[in-house]
Amino acid sequence: MHQIKNMAEEKDLWEEELDELKAAAQAVVDMVDPPEEGTEQVKILLERLRGAPQKIVKYLSDNTRQYVSHVLGLVKSYWPQANLTPVEGMAIECTDQKFANLVEKVKPVADMIVDSLEQEGAKPYPVELICEVYVCSDTF
C-alpha cells in the first residue's frame, strides 16, 4: 500500500513537471511563432516547438539585416561617396590586430545604434567612428 501511495505521489510530480514544461514550451513557441488572431492552431505544440530553432534563426537574420542596413544608411547619409558594394573581408592594408582594435573602439557606437533602434530620442552617432571601421583607418 505504501508503494502505491509513493507511486501516486511520483506520478503527480511528473504530471506537474510536464504541465510546467508544456507552459514553458508554449511561451517559447508563441514568442517565435505567434498564433494569428482568429485562426485555429493546426499544428500541435511539439511540431511548433520543433520548428522554433528555424524561426529564431530567421528572426536573428532579419534583425541583423535591419541593423546593418541602418548603419550603412547612416554611413551613406554622412559620406554619400562611400562605396558600399559587398567586399570579402577587411581591407588588405588592415591587419587583424588593427581590425580588432577598431571593432573594440566602435562597440559603444554599436550600442548607441542598437539602443536608438529600440527607443526614441537617442544621442547622435559619432559618425567618424563608423566611417573609420569602413575604411580601416590608422587614426586612433
Q: What is the pLDDT along the chain (140 residues), one digit of tens a residue?
A: 788 889 999 999 999 999 999 999 999 998 888 888 877 777 889 999 999 999 999 988 998 898 888 888 888 888 888 888 877 777 888 888 998 998 899 888 888 888 877 765 444 555 444 444 444 444 43
- Residue 102's CB is within 10 A of a number of other CB atoms, namely 19
Please give the grid coordinates belonging to residue 104: 573594440
CA distances from 58 to 3, 19, 132 (A): 50, 28, 30
Q: How many CA atoms lie within 13 A of 53 on its CB side?
A: 2
Rg (CA), the chain: 25
Q: Name the one residue in this structure whose C-alpha cell is 573609420.
A: 132
Whole-prediction pTM: 0.57
